[in-house]
Homo-oligomer: A and B are copies of this chain.
Amino acid sequence: MTRARKAPEIRTAELLDCAQRLFFERGYDDTTVNDIIRAAGLSKGAFYHYFASKEALLEALAARLARDSLAELQPMLDNPSLDAVGRLNALFAGSQRLNVELAPQLRTTFAVLFRPENVVLFHRVDLAARQLALPLIADLLAKGSEEGAFDVPDPLAFADMLLQIRLIFRDVMHSALRQADQGNIEEAARLLDERLRLYGVAIDRLLKLPDGTIKAVEPGFARAFLQAG
């Protein structure tokens, strides 16, 4: 009797799971294709049947991480009972709820992705996330402009800038996590809350909404996130 052969999509998912675990444990640069096939119990030939290179696997992993996180947020973007401002606020509220729920895992993920040896991994995941999010945010801005809720001269270019600004949270989150690890939760939470609030003000201004319309942070978020796990 031969060993049952797994469907390609299951095999691919298993390879991605193994690679993700190893990248997170050791860093992307310090994980080889040999490490991955050993962990997955596959031959080199089988690996290259699924992925042309470690780089190609990284691409697929980044796309999967981006797809998974966006799938969680899609319902807020599609809610027909909300106007464009309401949807943007629901998006931030949903993202914060997820961040608090998943805080222990996310803190590990952030700690890994922000490591200097993972700069390639970080920017690949960001690129994949941005490619998925860009048309959705551009569409939201276009609808808001049509409804007269916003004033956006170019929805795609402005969506691109909004998504770009959020990358300041790579450094802000890194500082906050380091401070929290050193026991300064109060100061770390204050810093993170304030920078999220100012990100909301930046979005207000870019869309010509009154300061304070977009709530990128809810009271107590930073403390709940930093204290978890």
Contact = CB atoms under 8 A, between A and B. Distances in A.
Interface in A134-183: 153-154, 157-158, 160-161, 164-165, 167-168
A195 B157 contact: yes
A198 interface: yes
Contacts of A120: 119-120
The A interface, classified by DSSP as helix, strand, loop or mixed, is: helix
A217 to B, nearest CB: 13
**This chain's copy number in the assembly:** 2
Contact of A123 (B123, B198, B205): B123
A161 B165 contact: yes
Contacts of A205: 205-206, 208
Contacts of A133: none
A202 interface: yes
A160 B164 CA distance: 12
Nearest to A123: B119
A194 to B, nearest CB: 8
A57 B10 CA distance: 44
A36 to B, nearest CB: 20
A189 interface: no
Contact of A164 (B153, B158, B165, B201): B165
Nearest to A170: B164
Nearest to A164: B168
Contacts of A202: 158, 161, 206
Nearest to A202: B161
Interface string A185-200: 0000000001100110
Contacts of A201: 153
B157 A161 contact: no
A58 B208 CA distance: 41
A180 to B, nearest CB: 19
Nearest to A166: B164
7 contacts: A153-B201, A157-B198, A161-B165, A161-B199, A164-B168, A202-B206, A205-B208
